[in-house]
């Protein structure tokens, strides 16, 4: 199982204070990936690739955006190590997401919390019908406007997952 293979990376990440989703949320995320078997995934905020390895562990094509060049290079190294098909874009996700034309089965948001709301409509546009938009850290103070928006969005059916500082899982309905 990918989470067991990632245990060394998890330990190293925590020691270095790299913000990763960790095993508990990772287990939930892996279950979602198993259930839906997505073919194309977009991740906003790669860090060192920990969550991207989980997202891509069933063979999906992963596109991930990371602002920090050093972290992006670490992510590339980890994707190679764990045999993940990934394209890493380096830059500001709030800008790069506007340029994307593909559609995705799953979008995972885990970057600058105060920017979640700025990219919501782009994420909805890029998500296929019945696809998922999952956001991490949803109960943190910087995410309250985003949380309100997804709970009341006409195209989304959203549930809040109460693991640590929370996740949201929205299904695109129209």
Tens digits of residue pLDDT in 131-152: 999 999 999 989 999 999 999 9
18: domain CATH number is: 3.40.50.150
> Mean pLDDT of all residues in the chain?
96
CA distances from 128 to 1, 102, 154, 156 (A): 28, 10, 15, 12
Name the band, by pLDDT with cuts 50, 70 and 90, for residue 93: very high
Residue 30 domain boundaries: 2-172
Per-residue pLDDT band at 112 (split at 50, 70, 90)? very high
Residue whose entry in the numeric block shows the structure tokens 């593909």: 102
Distances (CA, A) of 22 to 25, 104, 150: 6, 24, 24
Residue 154's alpha-carbon distances to 52, 91, 118, 131, 158, in angstroms, are 29, 30, 17, 15, 10
| Closest to 135 in 3D by CA, of 146, 145, 125 | 146
pLDDT at residue number 174: 79
Domain count of the fold of the chain: 1
Structure token pair of residue 21: 């989703």
Six token digits for residue 63: 């596109």
**Model's pTM, two decimal places?**
0.97
């Amino acid at each position: 199982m990918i989470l067991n293979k990632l245990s060394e990376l998890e330990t190293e990440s925590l020691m270095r204070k790299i913000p990763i989703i960790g095993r508990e949320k990772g287990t939930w995320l892996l279950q979602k990936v198993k259930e839906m078997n997505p073919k194309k995934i977009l991740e906003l905020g790669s860090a060192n690739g920990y969550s991207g390895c989980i997202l891509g562990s069933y063979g999906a094509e992963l596109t991930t955006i990371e602002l920090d060049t050093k972290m992006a290079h670490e992510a590339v190294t980890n994707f190679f190590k764990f045999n993940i098909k990934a394209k890493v874009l380096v830059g500001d996700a709030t800008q790069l997401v506007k340029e994307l034309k593909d559609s995705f089965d799953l979008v995972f948001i885990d970057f600058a919390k105060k920017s979640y709301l700025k990219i919501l409509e782009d994420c909805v546009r890029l998500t296929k019908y019945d696809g998922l938009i999952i956001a991490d850290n949803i109960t943190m103070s910087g995410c309250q406007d985003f949380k309100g928006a997804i709970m009341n969005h006409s195209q989304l059916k959203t549930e809040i997952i109460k693991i640590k500082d929370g996740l949201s899982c929205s299904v695109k309905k129209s």
